[in-house]
A = this chain, B = another copy of it.
């Protein structure tokens, strides 16, 4: 049980975290700050936060838990702005989709006070942003990856782990580098491909006629292409080395498909699809895949 959550960034991720903590009875008060006054006002009105703070520093003041839910590119500046009020008792977490850069930003911004920081990545979200979409159930069943720094206090790591588990999450602990390599493969590259898919269609003269025929397969394949541009710009750039490495793997896989089409090699094509289809069928997701329309 925490006394006071200092919420820095009251959008979808931050707002949903505050709601989930309140719903679980894990926090008494939420003091919130957002760069946009409209967001903070809306968060207050929705009961996401109890008190508006005029700055990130004042949102952190007196909190025993602080959540940074800002674009990853703003991590270092935000941590610097609260540094002077960070205490060893305070648990600080973020929700960023990349971790190597966040850990480096925390080292640069916090110095020895990094002992309070438990970098966190809850692998959930929506393709719509903003506090209006905040949802107390957003984190339920989500995979949450914690990537402690070399100086993070073990007691804070355990506290963070217990907290996310109490919200119904599946918690994994790994290094920032392992996290970033894995997410380049299963999240960042897929987003880049979904953006590229939209661009690929848009560049053609018949784009509107094509898109008018799109069905549920295209709908789901491109859902993540509707994601927030600034957030994904930052993620792709922050993790570009791993993303570009995954791009090479993907291009090889794609070239193999082109090759069997060019040579009309029906058996090889069937074998490749069979392996892909079996691998996808064996994937276990939380929440589970629904057998929706293709």
Binding site for B on A (CB under 8 A): 123-128, 133, 138, 142-143, 145, 172, 178, 181-183, 185-187, 189-204, 206, 209-211, 213-230, 232-233, 236-237, 240, 243-244, 246-247, 249-254, 256-258, 261-262, 264, 266, 269-270, 272-277, 279-281, 283, 285, 287, 289, 291-294
Contacts and interface: CB of A to CB of B under 8 A. Distances in A.
A219 B283 CA distance: 8
A15 to B, nearest CB: 15
B143 A213 contact: yes
Please report whether the interface of chain A is mostly helix, strand, loop or mixed according to DSSP: helix
Given A143-B213, A293-B126, A236 B250 contact: no
A293 B138 contact: yes
A97 to B, nearest CB: 10
Nearest to A294: B125
6 contacts: A125-B217, A126-B294, A185-B204, A185-B210, A199-B253, A223-B292
Question: Top 4 nearest A-B pairs by Cβ distance?
Answer: A123-B215, A198-B276, A125-B294, A199-B253
Given A125-B294, A209-B182, A233-B266, A257 B195 contact: yes
Given A187-B215, A218-B283, 5 more contacts: A143-B215, A193-B221, A196-B256, A215-B285, A223-B289
A221 to B, nearest CB: 4
Nearest to A254: B196
Most buried by B among A210, A211, A218: A218
A95 to B, nearest CB: 13
